[in-house]
């Protein structure tokens, strides 16, 4: 129920209002003049304020004009025995929510309270949505805006409001944890907890109690009962990072949670029910681990309802300028300097492979900002390996395992690239290129026909 402040110089009316609306469950405060009104509104969490137009030391309009800039989240309603149109128009223009003419019936006041309460709820919801959108947009900037990431974000928008479990995979530093938070922020669970745990950062013997909690006396040192991450995330989302590091025993317990939404605390035989959405992430090939017997196949398919692969930064170089500007803007605000980066330096950053992905780029920019002598970053401010990458260019192609493609497909791509390079170096002479590749000319012609004449 909302809290209400009635400001009126009629003390008998204030007593009636206090008694009537306190019985209806409202928290009611009263003030007989402007001085008392200022004290009450500053000392108490008041939602709705009724102001009498005529007060001993001021007017309701003057108080309204004074309070509105100070308390923009509150609702103001004027009451007066002088029902002139001019006062009503002035009050509404000043920012009053409503205007009541005295004498006014209690049920009319209650209707006004209900309308004001509904408006406050809508305003609160809009504020939450605005904050949610701002947080999501900020997170999306961290993820990137390349065509590859736009496709991923389109998938995210479609699955966010479902309860489907999601598996995020990709190299370390690509933004898996940030994407998990975006999914949570866009979901209907956004007002509930988002709980994250790194399965590789906690020793195996402690991880079970971290995930599922424990009862008093479950082990030496367990002097009190404690809830785990799954209980803490009830109603919201739990993010299990580095899921491939779970032991076989914990995989079995996690399977039960994904199937039945129940688990038991360490040292307890009483199952607990939870309503959580599970998002997991890994930088390893879970399917390969399943084939090797290192990861449960049934758990893999439970976690992999929606599979999202985040490509490494070297495969979406168009995102690099966005990240550079995003991180530089943070440092501009932090240090109060207008840090800039020259186009030729940006080109160099886009040519570097960034094996540590976005996280490495962020750290490199932070280093450059700290070492920068002025406000224009130079290559000397960046880690030496980027500088060496400039001095010692390498024409050899780089290959990285792509779990979205089969091994034969990727081997064909590698073979095709070597053939192209050999033909380029021999100016298109098939015989010379075949000798360079260590195969017969006939074999090379067959492969050229396979790869280039399809």
The pLDDT-based confidence of 318 (bands split at 50, 70, 90) is confident
**Prior bond to 41 cis, omega within 30?**
no
Give the ranges where 95-245 is alpha helix by DSSP (H).
106-143, 147-159, 176-186, 204-212, 229-232
Pairing type for strands 262-264 and 237-241 reads unpaired
Number of H helices, E strands in the chain: 19, 14
pLDDT of residue 153: 82
What global pTM score does this model have?
Answer: 0.58
Tens of pLDDT, residue by residue over 301-313, are: 999 999 999 999 9
d(CA 27, CA 314): 60
Count of beta carbons in the 10 Å neighbourhood of residue 411: 12
Taking CA atoms, 45 is separated from 3, 26, 40, 71, 158, in Å, by: 7, 12, 9, 11, 40
* Average confidence (pLDDT) over 46-70: 89
Mind listing the domains of the chain with CATH numbers?
3-122 (3.40.50.2300), 144-309 (3.40.50.300), 314-391 (1.10.8.60), 407-452 (1.10.10.60)
- Per-residue b/e over 298-318, b at no fewer than 16 CB within 10 Å? ebbebbbebebebbbbbbbee
The pLDDT value recorded for residue 129 is: 56
- Mean of per-residue pLDDT scores for the chain: 86
What residues contact residue 320 under an 8 Å CB cut-off, 6+ apart? Answer: 313, 346, 349, 350, 354, 361
User: Looking at the predicted structure, is the pLDDT value of residue 248 above 50?
Assistant: yes
CA distances from 134 to 20, 138, 139 (A): 42, 6, 9
Contact 303, 338 (CB under 8 A): no
Q: Is 212 exposed, middle or buried (0-12, 13-18, 19+ CB in 10 A)?
A: buried
pLDDT score for 392: 43
45, 58, 173, 182 from 277: Cα distances, Å: 35, 56, 23, 13
Q: What pLDDT was estimated at residue 453?
A: 62
Q: How many residues does the chain have?
A: 454
CA 251 to each of CA 211, 254, 257: distance values in angstroms, whole numbers, following the listed order = 12, 5, 10
Question: Is pLDDT above 70 for 150?
Answer: yes
Provide the pLDDT for residue 393.
Answer: 44
pLDDT value of residue 122:
79
CA distance 342 to 35: 60
pLDDT of residue 133: 54
Q: pLDDT at residue 135 above 60?
A: no
């Amino acid at each position: 129920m909302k809290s209400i402040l009635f400001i009126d110089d009629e003390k008998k009316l204030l007593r009636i209002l206090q008694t009537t609306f306190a019985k209806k469950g409202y928290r009611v405060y009263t003030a007989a003049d402007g001085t008392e009104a200022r004290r009450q509104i500053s000392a108490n969490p008041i939602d709705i304020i009724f102001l009498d137009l005529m007060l001993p030391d001021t007017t309701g309009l003057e108080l309204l004009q004074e309070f509105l800039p100070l308390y923009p989240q509150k609702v103001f309603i004027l009451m007066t025995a002088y029902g002139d149109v001019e006062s009503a128009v002035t009050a509404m223009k000043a920012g009053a929510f409503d205007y009541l003419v005295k004498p006014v019936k209690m049920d009319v006041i209650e209707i006004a309270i209900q309308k004001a309460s509904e408006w406050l709820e809508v305003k609160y919801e809009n504020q939450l949505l605005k904050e949610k959108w701002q947080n999501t947009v900020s997170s999306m900037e961290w993820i990137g805006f390349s065509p590859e990431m736009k496709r991923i974000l389109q998938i995210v928008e479609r699955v966010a409001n479902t309860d489907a479990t999601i598996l995020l995979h990709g190299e370390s530093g690509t933004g898996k944890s940030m994407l998990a938070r975006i999914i949570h922020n866009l979901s209907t669970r956004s007002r509930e907890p988002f709980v994250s745990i790194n399965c590789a950062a906690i020793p195996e013997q402690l991880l079970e109690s971290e995930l599922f909690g424990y009862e008093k006396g479950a082990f030496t040192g367990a002097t009190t009962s404690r809830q785990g991450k799954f209980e803490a995330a009830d109603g919201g989302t739990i993010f299990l990072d580095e899921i491939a590091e779970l032991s076989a025993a914990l995989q079995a317990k996690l399977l039960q949670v994904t199937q039945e939404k129940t688990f038991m605390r360490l040292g307890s035989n009483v199952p607990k029910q939870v309503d959580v959405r599970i998002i997991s992430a890994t930088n390893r090939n879970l399917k390969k681990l399943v084939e090797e017997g290192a990861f449960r196949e049934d758990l893999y398919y439970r976690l992999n309802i929606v599979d999202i692969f985040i490509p490494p930064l070297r495969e979406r170089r168009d995102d690099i300028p966005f990240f550079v500007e995003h991180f530089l803007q943070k440092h501009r605000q932090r240090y109060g300097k207008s840090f800039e980066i020259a186009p030729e330096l940006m080109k160099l950053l886009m040519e570097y492979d960034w094996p540590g992905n976005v996280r490495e780029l962020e750290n490199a920019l932070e280093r450059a900002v700290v070492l920068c002598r002025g406000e224009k970053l130079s290559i000397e401010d960046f880690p030496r390996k980027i500088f060496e990458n400039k001095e010692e260019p390498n024409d050899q192609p780089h290959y990285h395992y792509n779990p979205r493609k089969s091994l034969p497909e990727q081997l064909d791509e590698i073979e095709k690239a070597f053939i192209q390079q050999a033909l380029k170096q021999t100016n298109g002479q098939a015989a010379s290129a075949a000798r360079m590749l260590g195969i017969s000319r006939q074999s090379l012609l067959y492969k050229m026909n396979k790869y280039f004449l399809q």
